[in-house]
Amino acid sequence: MTVGGEHNRELARRYPNVEQLFWSTDVLPFIHERFWAYRDEKRMHPQWDADAHALFNTVMESGETLQLSWGRSTSSVSRRMLQGTFESAGPSSPCASRPCTSE
């Protein structure tokens, strides 16, 4: 499985059995749905890093309906997720401090 901002034809050609998920249509809606559905259970989360706290706060501020936009109201966490960049992924992560790629 891969996660990205858009369909990668070369990846699909080289690895036809690898499912491609997308930030805007698969990952962020799933996260939003889970955070919203379990907001009472997830309200206490001191073990989360700053990005996870910001993402949770963004979901709580947006309410029940997920609205993805590139406007100023979109949090930097959401923008980074849509762009596939994670600064807090850790030094051993293939996506640490740079956009994830298919290779």
Q: Kindly tell me if the per-residue pLDDT of 7 is higher than 80.
A: yes
Q: Each residue of 34-92: pLDDT tens digit?
A: 999 999 999 999 999 998 898 899 889 888 887 766 444 444 455 555 554 444 333 44
CA atoms within 13 A on the CB side of 5: 12
Which of 9, 29, 28 minimizes the C-alpha distance to 83?
28
Rounded Cα gap, residues 76 and 64, in angstroms: 20
